[in-house]
Structure 1
Amino acid sequence: MCRHLGYLGPAVPVGEPVVRGAHSLRVQAWAPREMRGGGTINADGFGIAWWQAGATSPTRYRNPTPIWSDPAVEEVLGQIAAPAVLAAVRSATPGMPVDRASCAPFVHEQWAFSHNGMVPDWRSTLAAVAAECGVPNLLDVEATTDSAALWLVLRTVLGVHKPEVALLEVSARILDRQPAARLNLLLGDGETIWATTCYHALSVLVTDREVIVASEPYDDDPGWTGVPDRHLVIARPGDVRIEPFAKQES
């Protein structure tokens, strides 16, 4: 469906994690290895969010064209340094718009978010979940896509619960209604990365100085760890927790 990546570590050019490795996120846009039935390429736009040192909210760049056609990734974003990056390349679900507003990451306050997957019958499913979660106004949705609506629900729940609880709470409510939903969620606040696996692949690479959470490894480093299905990831440099879906305490 999509590919995404989160980076935390020493400040690097914002575009660098996106082009890092022989199988970088940019390469995954046209040659993904693990789409698992969710399309063949990721050519329906991309986005990059980053947190500069001392910033309380992310800056974002998005483009609805394929990432390989945009020289700004290296020529512009290569001139900006940041210690935290969250990026995504998009494969739009058939029938959903291909425009800038539909491209992840979605941002709000300190958060940036990406969704790799799909929610069947998303309009009625997410409307019901939104009502349960007390979303004040569905008209605030940024784009007419399942990912944007899911983000509106999640950011409401983030106002009440810890991120790991919010991710599992929203996922559980969706899966109760749509067991076939694909919910690889990626969330960051500039200091921590949270992610879930539900159907699609995810891998983690951690050292004492940095951590990368990615849909697919961007190189052959033996340190990459594949995340099993229906698991939650909480990652910081030097510290990664991978736990099965379970009820978390708020």
Structure 2
Amino acid sequence: MCRWLAYTGTPILLEELLYKPAHSLIDQSQHSRLRGDAGTTNGDGFGTGWYTEPSDDPLDADETPALFRGVEPAWGDRNLRDLSAHVRSGLFFAHIRASSPGAAVQETNCHPFRHGRWLWMHNGGISRFPELRRDLMLAIDPALFPLVEGTTDTETMFHLALTFGLVQDVPGSVERMVGLVEATAEQHGVPDPVQMTVAVSDGVRIWAFRYASRPPAPSLFYSTSMEALQSLHPENANLRLVSDRTRVVVSEPLTDLPEEWQPVDESSYSIIEDGKDETFPFVPRRG
């Protein structure tokens, strides 16, 4: 399974989380601890998407997030290493990919995926996706269908959520998307089709989902209060860089500080904005 992180808070250089922690995302690309029988390596491409600070310059009015993706293993990509040492952001996503069977290693299959202001990334999968793909693709809004560039279940899920009104209602659209996948799988005799953690952002807030048709879902954690951690670990220079409104959501903890990471409940989603987070139950909707 893939590994990902989502960050919101004090603007920092991307390298502070991608490279510097003891168990950074780049370290996880070779030495994942929580993938279990799926293996320890995530070497089938990577991606990062980030939002820049608002500008008063009318010539700088592009509000879409930046996106950088590649098909090389993340640990060996010199461009990613250089970029992360120079790009600073207060909200960014990063993802390292372990491809599903039959999903090609190509740039259009690397996360995050982007639509206007929106970013989307995913860990998990749809069971026997090639058998369900045609029916699921046909459920995508015809206006969105030409925008699907790759072959992954993740991109299909994203465009289904957009079809179901992601821009207006993020939780509702994801619940309807999962409901459709489960109903379609049932018609094809595919049991327990969905395993997922999903991160979504509009550049202001982050939504993080954890769900499985049959638990357990893939692992997901969020950082606890930065103020508490700074007092517990005054020697940690990285923690001193950020304010208490900072939050990090990860597939796998970045450090060995157990009090820093709380597991996300099964069948739930969180909304994170300006250091505040609320958690709600996640229930797929059919029809």
Q: TM-score, normalised by structure 2?
A: 0.79
Gap change, CA 1:36 and 1:232, over 3 Å in 2: farther
Partner deviation per Cα, 1:114-156 (whole Å, 9 max, x = no partner): 1111112324534434544645453431101211222221222
CA contact (8 A) 2:201 2:207 kept: yes
Kept in 1, the 8 Å contact 2:47–2:70? The answer is yes
Question: Do the aligned residues in 2 keep the contact of 1:171 with 1:183 (CA within 8 Å)?
Answer: no
Three-state SS of the structure 2 residue aligned to 1:53 is coil
Residue 196 of structure 1 aligns to which amino acid in structure 2? Answer: F
Structure 2: runs of 5+ lacking an equivalent: 55-61, 186-191, 212-216, 226-243
Match of 1:189 in 2: 202
Identical aligned residues as a percent: 26
**Aligned counterpart, 2:223:** 205
In the alignment, the residues of structure 1 paired with residue 137 and residue 150 of structure 2 have an alpha-carbon distance, to the nearest angstrom, of: 15
Aligned to 1:243: 280
Describe the SS at the equivalent of 1:158.
coil
Equivalent residue in structure 2 for 1:96, among 99, 103, 112: 103
Going from structure 1 to structure 2, the CA distance change for 1:163 and 1:12 (only over 3 Å counts) comes to same
- 2:118 paired with 1:105: no
8 A contact 1:45–1:62 mirrored in 2: yes
1:160–1:88 CA distance, 2 compared to 1 (3 A): closer
Query: Given the alignment of the two structures, is residue 84 of structure 1 paired with residue 121 of structure 2, yes or no?
Result: no
DSSP 3-state at the match of 1:212:
strand
Q: Which residue of 2 aligns with 1:230?
A: 267
Residue of structure 2 aligned with 1:143, choices 150, 162, 170: 150
Match of 2:177 in 1: 170
Structure 1: 5+ residue stretches without partners: none
Q: 2:164 aligns with which of 157, 160, 168?
A: 157
- How many angstroms does 1:163 deviate by? 1.1
How many equivalent residue pairs? 248
TM-score, L = length of structure 1:
0.90
C-alpha contact 1:14 1:50 (8 A) present in aligned 2: no
Shift of 1:200: 0.3
Q: Greater Rg, structure 1 or structure 2? A: 2
Offset of residue 206 of structure 1: 4.0
Q: Deviations over 1:219-250 (max 9, x none)?
A: 133131101222112112421222221379xx
Aligned counterparts of 2:283 and 2:166: Cα–Cα separation in 1: 20
Instruction: Measure the CA separation in 2 of the matches of 1:80 and 1:95.
Output: 34
Find the aligned partners of 1:160 and 1:13 in 2 and give their Cα distance.
28
Contact persistence 2:205–2:272 (CA under 8 A): yes
State how far apart, in whole Å, the 2-side matches of 1:35 and 1:224 are. 17
Q: Quote how far apart the aligned CAs of 1:9 are.
A: 0.8
Please say which of residues 59-68 and 179-188 is displaced more in the overlay. Answer: 179-188
